[in-house]
């Protein structure tokens, strides 16, 4: 699509729609920066960016890595800043607080959620949110006003939990430990792989599990039964969940066998079906000329365009940007020349259309529309990245699809 083109109608000319302009910007994404590879390469499994920093130059990127660490980078330069570890525990996922750009959280397999203050030189967590003795946390999120943390556990014997904490606390005393507010234990019967709070409703949260269920709760209610707003069945193990649509009244999920489901919660009290789209295997439905889609990574809703976009890719590191509509998925653009292996994580800044991606080649890349990469170390970085998979211990969540 050429920049600045016009659509025409008989006797009229008008500019591209907001959606077309945004799709054009996404198709023009090019590498602006790439991080320097660390001495200990690792898969980059999750990415988040601080939200409330006073300037772009002071914003940070936090990356959850397969070597059980959290790494911090400068958002604009991708220069490495510091690293946090919780060995022997495995850290799963990473989130910045919404209203305080200095606090970063991660779930740990030792049954805790840990919080670090990146303004401090100390490696010690400033707050620890402890679970119950058998808990192994593999997913978590913080609500939009930073008051509640929710974490999902692996299944232990017959037990699977969503555990909740009051996130407010004193970060001046390092190592402060908080006990749970309570748990939900009846709505899933297998590992809770994903947790995602509503972007603007603090009490709404959606959870996904290897049992195939996607549950929506209003945690302001008195008990789990009353809190459960909706249960949607994907028929497969959940790998990603998110919110979309005007008012964020829609939810969507991806599965470990590359399925995709999209539901409209606004139809719960109507006679209309809530399913907007169900794709059993996206690899079979997305047409890409002279290429293929090997997997889905995640998605992001663009408010200005009122459109849900998905990210997928190939085993050789190409990134496919997909537009999601009621009629299916369509290709917006393909990003190449960056990664050399599977993409595992991303963070999309839809305000400036920039994209951060991380992969199994241990690279962290920043993409911007029309950017030109000026790194003198590009060729050497790519050479090193291509051999990373031979040295990295493979991170395998051992999650298997389960049909209900």
Residue 47 near residue 347 (C-beta atoms within 8 A): yes
Report residue 259 as tokens. 């399925």
Query: Which among 170, 160, 195, 167 is positioned nearest to 181, based on CA atoms?
Result: 167
Residue 359 near residue 314 (C-beta atoms within 8 A): no
Distance CA 386, CA 230 (A): 44
pTM higher than 0.85 for the full model?
yes
Residue 104 near residue 116 (C-beta atoms within 8 A): yes
Residue 142 bridge partners (DSSP): 149
User: What is the residue-level pLDDT of the chain in tens, covering all 404 positions?
Assistant: 333 332 333 433 445 787 888 888 888 899 999 999 888 889 999 999 998 655 566 789 999 999 889 999 999 999 999 999 877 788 889 999 999 889 999 999 899 999 999 998 888 899 999 999 999 999 999 999 999 999 999 999 989 999 999 998 765 556 688 999 999 999 999 999 999 999 999 999 999 999 999 999 999 999 999 999 999 999 999 999 999 999 999 999 999 999 999 999 999 999 999 999 999 999 999 988 889 999 999 999 999 899 999 999 999 999 999 999 999 999 999 999 999 999 999 999 888 889 999 999 999 999 999 988 775 445 455 545 555 554 444 434 433 344 43
Residue 226 DSSP label: H
Distance CA 280, CA 283 (A): 9
Residue 339 near residue 365 (C-beta atoms within 8 A): yes
- Degrees (nearest 5) of the Cα angle 349, 363, 94? 55
* Domains of the chain, earliest start first: 18-369 (2.130.10.10)
Distance CA 238, CA 166 (A): 26
Between the alpha carbon of residue 393 and those of residues 32, 130, 154, 297, 360, the distances in Å are 29, 28, 22, 21, 10
């Amino acid at each position: 699509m050429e920049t600045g083109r016009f659509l025409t109608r008989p006797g009229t000319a008008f500019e591209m729609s907001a959606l077309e302009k945004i799709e054009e910007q996404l198709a023009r994404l090019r590498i602006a920066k790439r991080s320097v590879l660390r001495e200990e390469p690792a898969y980059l499994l999750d990415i988040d960016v601080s939200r409330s920093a006073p300037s772009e130059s002071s914003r940070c990127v936090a990356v959850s890595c397969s070597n059980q660490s959290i790494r911090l980078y400068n958002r604009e330069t991708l220069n490495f800043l510091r690293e946090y570890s919780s060995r022997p525990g495995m850290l799963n996922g990473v989130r910045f607080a919404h209203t305080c750009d200095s606090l970063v959280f991660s779930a740990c397999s030792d049954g805790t959620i840990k919080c670090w203050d990146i303004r401090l030189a100390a490696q010690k967590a400033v707050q620890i949110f402890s679970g119950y003795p058998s808990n192994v946390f593999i997913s978590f999120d913080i609500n939009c006003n930073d008051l509640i943390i929710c974490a999902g556990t692996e299944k232990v014997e017959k037990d699977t939990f969503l555990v909740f904490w009051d996130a407010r606390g004193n970060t001046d005393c390092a190592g402060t430990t908080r006990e749970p507010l309570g748990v939900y234990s009846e709505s899933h019967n297998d590992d809770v792989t994903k947790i995602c709070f509503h972007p603007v409703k603090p009490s709404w949260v959606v959870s996904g599990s290897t049992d195939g269920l996607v549950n929506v709760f209003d945690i302001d209610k008195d008990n789990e039964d009353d809190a459960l707003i909706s249960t949607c069945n994907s028929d497969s193990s959940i790998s990603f969940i998110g919110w979309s649509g005007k008012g964020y009244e829609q939810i969507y999920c991806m599965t470990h066998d590359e399925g995709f489901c999209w539901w409209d919660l606004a139809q719960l009290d109507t006679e209309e079906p809530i399913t907007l789209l169900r794709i059993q295997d996206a690899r079979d439905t997305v047409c890409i000329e002279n290429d293929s889609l090997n997997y889905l990574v995640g998605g992001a809703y663009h408010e200005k365009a009122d459109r849900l976009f998905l990210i997928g890719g190939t085993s050789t590191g190409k990134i496919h940007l997909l537009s999601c509509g009621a009629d299916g998925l369509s290709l917006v653009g393909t990003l190449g020349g960056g990664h050399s292996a599977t993409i595992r994580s991303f963070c999309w800044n839809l305000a400036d259309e920039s994209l951060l991606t991380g992969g199994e080649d241990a690279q962290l890349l920043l993409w911007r529309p029309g950017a030109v990469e000026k790194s003198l170390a590009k060729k050497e970085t790519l050479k090193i990245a291509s051999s990373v998979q031979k040295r990295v211990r493979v991170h395998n969540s051992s999650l298997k699809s389960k049909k209900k």
